[in-house]
Every structure is written in structure tokens, then in C-alpha cells.
Amino acid sequence: MAKGFLDGYKTYNTAAGFGSPKAWQKAFKQRMGKEEAEAILQGQQQTPYGILGIEQGATSAAIKKAYRKMMMLWHPDKNPDRISEAEEMSKKIIAAYSILTHS
């Protein structure tokens, strides 16, 4: 029998709460800083905008939407048959998003 969404949700431990949006942003920035993102994209032919498939000067909402769309396509869990390629592309997508959102 297949598990439904609520079955997975019931197993999620929320005893400590979900955290504030600021805490999530801080945790995200700690995972990949601008320097690390630039190191990942160094030597790439594509710009961060090109990796996310958006035009230069895109709004923050467009950047976020493109990031989510690309992560849905390239997430390693969604590409088990080509996991190494998906992991590499995911790193590039996260790096591009990090560079475009760090001001």
C-alpha cells in the first residue's frame, strides 16, 4: 500500500517547532556562502542566470520561481537513474541561486 502525504507528515517531529523564516534564511546562507557558490560556478560557460533559465535583471520572485522549477527537475531523488549528474546540476542550481540572492 502506498503512503500518502499525511502518513509522512505524521512521522515528522515538530516538537521543537518549525523555526522562524529568518532562522531558515540564516541556515540556508550558512550552507552555501557566496564564495563557495562562486567556486562551484568557476569555469562554467553559463552564467547564474543561464543556469536558472532566466534573463539578466530578473526580479527576485522570478529568480525564486526558476530556482524551484529547476530543483524540481534536477533533484537527485527525482533522477535515481542519473544521480551523479543530478547532484552536480543541483549544486550548480543552488550556487546560481545563492549568487543571485546574496546582495
Distances from the Cα of 77 to the Cα of 6, 44, 47, 84, 92, angstroms: 20, 24, 25, 11, 16
pLDDT of residue 69: 96
pLDDT digits (tens, 9 = 90+) for 21-51: 676 667 666 677 788 888 889 988 999 999 9
By C-alpha distance, which of 50, 49, 41 is closest to 101? 49
Q: In the structure grid, which three cell numbers stand for residue 38, read together? A: 562562486
Q: Is the dihedral of CA 12, 14, 20, 26 positive or negative?
A: negative
Domains and CATH numbers, the chain: 33-103 (1.10.287.110)
Tens digits of per-residue pLDDT, 44-99? 899 999 999 999 999 999 999 999 999 999 988 888 899 999 999 999 999 999 99
Distance in angstroms (rounded) separating the CA atoms of residues 19 and 23: 6
How far out from the chain centre does Cα 58 lie? 17
Task: Specify the pLDDT at position 37.
Answer: 87
